[in-house]
Amino acid sequence: MKCYEIIEKLESLSPTAFAEEWDNIGLLAGRRDKEVETVYIALDATEDVIEEAVNLGADLLLTHHPLIFKKLDRINTDDFIGRRVYQLIRNDICYYAMHTNFDVMGMADAAADELSICEREVLCVTYEDDISKEGCGRVGKLPKRMSVADLAAFVKARFHVPNVRVFGDMGDIVEVAAVMPGSGGSYIKNAVNAGADVMITGDIDHHEGIDAVAQGLTIIDAGHYGIEKIFISYMEDFMKRELPELCIYKTEIKEPFAVI
């Protein structure tokens, strides 16, 4: 199967029109006409990921976060981005990234599904036409009213994370939840305006956390990687279902840092 044929499938799932203007998505390295038999899926194009993709003979590397965000003045091995791009090109591996387009068309509902959130709506509208409104995050009702402590345990179990950070009273009862995979600090106001009791997200700093509580919003921080790693299994299932002729590999699920 040609690389461009796979791209057509990926973009039918998460059209590029849903990506933010500042984002850098799509085919970032490689040949559209390359014959692809083996795909490697990861959240980030780290050196370890690229090395494993090379060792497995991957023809296409698919990630959520783009390796290339800023303009590259040159590609050489003097810096870590250049080394990775060089390795991809040298080994004739096509590299495709699905970032904010997947956040809107894929990640948001997948995260809400993990938490069984119902009666859901878009948390932050980023795209609107005559037919629909789409955007980042979701807000709706939890499967039942529960304490913050019970919800924190539920989040840990559903996203398979070793720990979560909670800003708020563990004894409070919550019912309406917002979920914002990735970095949720800039979406706190959206959650407050939507009437959420709690927001499940990642990358919340001290001031964002205490300010959210002051506005009546509990925060459960399950980590950026903690939630967004669902991209890996989501895309594995999608590609096995839609492109069964391909050989699919995926990176090991492993937290990028340790808490001592």
What is this structure's pTM?
0.96
Angle between helices 47-55 and 80-90 (to 10 degrees): 10
Cβ neighbours of residue 26 under 8 Å, at least 6 residues apart?
A: 7, 16, 96, 97
Question: Residue 130: what pLDDT?
Answer: 87
As a whole number of angstroms, the distance between CA 54 and CA 108 comes to 31
Question: Residue 108: what pLDDT?
Answer: 97
170-201 residue pLDDT tens: 999 999 999 999 999 999 999 999 999 999 99
Question: Residue 70: what pLDDT?
Answer: 86
Cβ neighbours of residue 244 under 8 Å, at least 6 residues apart?
A: none
Question: Residue 170: what pLDDT?
Answer: 98
Q: 94-97 and 26-29 as β-strands: parallel, antiparallel, unpaired?
A: antiparallel
CA 236 to chain centre: 14
66 in Cβ contact with 25 (< 8 Å): yes
- For the chain, which ranges sit under pLDDT 50? none
Question: Residue 19: what pLDDT?
Answer: 97
Q: 173-183 and 198-202 as β-strands: parallel, antiparallel, unpaired?
A: parallel
Question: Residue 24: what pLDDT?
Answer: 97
Question: Residue 58: what pLDDT?
Answer: 98
Q: Show the tokens assigned to 19.
A: 């990506």
Helix or strand run (H / E) with residue 240: helix 230-242
